[in-house]
Structure 1
Amino acid sequence: MARQLHPVERLDLDLAKASALPEGSDAQRIAKGIAGVGDQPPLILACGVTIAVGTLARDERLARTGLRMLAAHAFSIMGKLMVKGVVDRTRPDEALKRGRYKLEEGGSESGELRSMPSGHSAGTVAVAMAAAVDYPAARPALATGAATIVGAQLPSRNHFLSDTVAGSMIGLGAAALAAWLIPAERKVRPARP
């Protein structure tokens, strides 16, 4: 007997159907391109470029930010792998194309069953929030960029909404840990007599 879907799963499936762009359309290619910015290679490249530019320019704040971004990204990878190692969940593309869906305890290595949590969301949020520590004026732009990349996971059929929420929470935790380990520059105020 098939198990009954949780209300969150039903909502996820309904949103996946409603937000799915036509296969092969220009809109889907654009969504996939935006979503792909949250993949590991582009994020690692962004961290590396930030470290390199900061180091070459002798900008300690920028170099430190790049190191924090890289640490946050590494922590987000660890967090998402811990969850993916114990949860099997069908990706939206598979569920929509073949009508098969499952969410259960497991540890499959098949990409089609590794939707939960969204690693793209975890990494994107981790890197953006780690950058915001030393650049508070950039927080709105960083948050908007991260939200765009995370949001693109739905119409590109990469992840369900709850996958992106779980990934984003992992990313926030990873950024907080990285900020604790590599804090922002502290302004030392002269002591008052």
Structure 2
Amino acid sequence: MRLLTGLFEADRVLTQQAASRIPRDVAKVLSGVEEAAQNTKLWCGAAVAMACLGGWRGRKAAAAGLGALVVAQLTSNGLCKQLADRPRPPAEWIPHDEVADRPDSSSFPSGHTAAAVAFTAAVAPTWPVAGALCAVPAAAVALERVQSGAHYPSDVVAGAVIGLAGAWLVRRAPRLVLRHGW
């Protein structure tokens, strides 16, 4: 019980700090990146660019990124949000008007973060430069989800873990299939 109380307090403090201390201009940039990532547009666009400009490595990275993104989205939005009906952070914690533009779905986990981390983590082993470039907007998306009041920090961490797991699964699935003869 003490652990949950500590987690809730950490979520409160970090959410309030992110919502009130990030400068307005930075918040606008974060919001723009999140808008681009809405409905996975940013990641699909990155995959198209990689596939068109990166030769075989770009196509392989794009396929891995999109595969991991799908796994992460199905896990976070299709399963976890249905099982965990967590309300969004209280509006009184958020001192700006972005709080009015939040989804009605469960706060746990952050599907935006899951998709961003999954795509980035799956791309990076095949094309490290592209992975590093994707890491910048992925981090911005994660920060924006807390700053805007859409998620608690623990929701974002859970989304990142789901994203990493999705990337791991997609990268390992061919070897697992071959090893076990499925």
Q: Aligned partners of 1:18 and 1:128: how far apart in 2?
A: 27
Q: Aligned partners of 1:95 and 1:172: how far apart in 2?
A: 32
Which residue number corresponds to residue 191 of structure 1? none
Q: Aligned partners of 2:90 and 2:43: how far apart in 1?
A: 24
CA 1:14 to 1:112, structure 2 compared with 1: closer, same or farther past 3 Å? farther
Letter in 1 for 2:35: G
Within the candidate set 135, 138, 154, 1:162 is matched to 154
Which residue number corresponds to residue 177 of structure 1? 169
Asked whether the 8 Å contact 1:68–1:182 carries over to 2, the reply is: no
Query: Any unmatched runs of 5+ in structure 1?
Result: 98-109, 184-193
In the alignment, does 2:40 pair up with 1:48? no
Letter in 2 for 1:28: A
| Other structure's SS at 1:88 match | coil
In the alignment, does 2:72 pair up with 1:76? yes
Asked whether the 8 Å contact 2:110–2:159 carries over to 1, the reply is: yes
1:139-192 per-residue CA deviation (whole Å, 9 max, x = no partner) reads: 555445432331232212221100010000000001111112368xxxxxxxxx
Which residue number corresponds to residue 13 of structure 1? 12
Q: Quick one: percent identity of the two aligned structures? A: 26
Which residue number corresponds to residue 188 of structure 1? none
Write 1 or 2 for the structure with the bigger share of helix: 2
Shift of 1:28: 3.1
Asked whether the 8 Å contact 1:121–1:149 carries over to 2, the reply is: yes
Larger gyration radius, structure 1 or structure 2: 1
Asked whether the 8 Å contact 2:33–2:137 carries over to 1, the reply is: no
Letter in 1 for 2:158: A
Q: Aligned partners of 1:119 and 1:130: how far apart in 2?
A: 16
Shift of 1:21: 3.8
Letter in 2 for 1:14: V
* TM-score calculated relative to the size of structure 1: 0.71
Give me the CA root mean square deviation.
Answer: 3.0
Equivalent residue runs for 1:1-193 within 5 Å: 6-21=5-20, 25-39=24-38, 40-51=40-51, 53=52, 59-81=55-77, 82-92=79-89, 94=91, 96=93, 111-136=103-128, 140-181=132-173
Asked whether the 8 Å contact 1:64–1:182 carries over to 2, the reply is: no
